[in-house]
Structure formats: C-alpha cells, structure tokens
Amino acid sequence: MRPYPGRVTADPPRRRHLLGAPAVLAGEAAAAAAEVEAALTVSDPRVAAFFDIDNTVVRGASIFYLARGLARRGFFTTRDVVRFLEQQVRFRIGGTEDLADMASATDAALGFVAGHEVDEVVRLGEEIFQETIINKLYPGTLALAQQHLDSGQRVYLVSAAPVELARIIARNVGLTGALGTVSEIENGRYTGKLVGSPLHGPAKAEAVRALAAREDLDLARCSAYSDSANDIPMLSLVGHPVAVNPDGGLRSHARAMGWEVRDFRRGRRAVKVGVPTAIGLGILVGVAVGVAAERNRRAGA
C-alpha cells in the first residue's frame, strides 16, 4: 500500500483497525465521489486547502437549511420536520457533535429523501442555496478560500453534510470540489442508507487522506480550516491548520499547538451555545407549525 503523504506517520492498516471500518469506508467513498473539474489547471497542483462547512463557511447547520427548505416544498410531513429539528437542536444548540447524535440526525435526513430521485433533491438544493444559504456565508472565510485559489491551489469543502449539498455550496462559491457524506443510490434514487458512516471526525481525516493519495497532494504543504474540536484529526493532517470561529475545545487545542485562530462572528464571544435548548426547541417547533400553515394555505388557495 502506498504511504499517505503528510505529517501523520501512524501505520495506515493499524489506523484503520483503530478507527473502524465505517469511518474509513465513509472517507474513501467521499474521496471517490469528489468531483474534480477535469479542465482545472492550477499552478501549485500538490497543494490544497480543506474547509469545513457548518459554522466555518456557513453560519449554522447547512443540513438544517436544506431540511427546512424541503419541508416548505411539502417534501415531508410536519411531524417529520419536528423530529428532525429536535435532533438538530441537540446537535447544534446543545453545542455537541457526538457521533451517535450525528448519525441519528443523518439517518432522519436520509429517511426523508429515501425513494426520491437524486436529480430532484439536487435541483431543490440549488433553489434552497439561492434562497437561504447564500445569505448565511461568512465573507471572511470565503476571502481565505479565495487567497488559496489566487495562489494556484485547489480548495475543497469537507463536511458531514450530504455530498450533494456540499457540492452545491462549493460550486456556487467557486471552489474546486467537495467531500461529504455519501448516500447509497440505486437507479438514480436514494435508498435511505449511508455508505459507511457520516463524514464526521476521523472520517473527514480519512477522506482527506484518500483524496491526497488520489491527487498526489503534499499534506505537509496543505491547509485546513474548521470550527470544531471534532475536526482535530483533519486539522492535524496538514501543515497549516487554522481554527475558524472555534468552539472552546478547538480554541484551547489551537492555542496549545500554536495554530492560527480566526473568528468572523460579529459581536459574539467564541462560543456555540447562543440560546437555551428549550428556547431553541420552541423556535424550531414554531418553524414546523409555520410550514404546516403555509402548506394548508396553499392547499386551500
């Protein structure tokens, strides 16, 4: 097996044993699904920058914006959206990114799209990006990404969000490509199952490793950006890790390691928890009720 480039020197087979097959499979699937523009020419082809999405490039959780947009289009029931939003509150407002919660939230999202055509979800995702997500982008983070592009480097998004959504965001902001959670597809439709696990924590690092091997990247010269301590495995792979809008755990780790820290949040302290969970639940249930009311209004029109 060809050794992975970069700073991590642990034996790959041993790492695979320690991380478990799902994370490795998720990482390899994400790298295999990455769309790299064939005509792309860069002046520094062995160097790339990797950006997390949620709270790094996009303010908040991108999959929440997608779910809300799909709900408004009658893609699933009000009960479904309330259940999904409760999980998102626990995941985001609770300030935790536990892998079990992440898997549960992802399973809920996959349940919504199971049986639907991939092309339909991508089309609606494009609409939702233009309606909502485009207004949630951090200009400061995009400026950092543009600096890498201007230097002749490739820039990828790396996210636990569905790879289709990650691609939409990358394409619309002019990046090279995206790595994301890969869903099983049969005959152009989602089956409701994942390939491996969500692209989260160690799985992100595995995806970057696999892409680096495929594209002959020198990870020691690459950069990575994230807000979460859960992405320390990915950040530790590269020669230039940067904590962006960091949570407490990542901020402490970055300081201890001498990593660069950037914070683009306006008028906020460097924390993720903005409102109590109970208030957040009330807000999100209100969103679900609003979705149902709008659906009833349209039905009666």
Active-site amino acid positions:
52, 54
Give the CB-side neighbour count of residue 236, counting CA atoms within 13 A: 17
Nearest Cα to Cα of residue 179 among 151, 198, 152: 198
Only one residue has tokens 């949040």, namely 265
Strand extents, DSSP E, 195-276 = 223-226, 240-244, 260-262
DSSP character at residue 297: H
**Cβ atoms 56, 144 nearer than 8 A:** no
By CB atoms closer than 10 A (0-12, 13-18, 19+), residue 139 is exposed
- Other beta carbons within 10 angstroms of residue 33's beta carbon come to 20
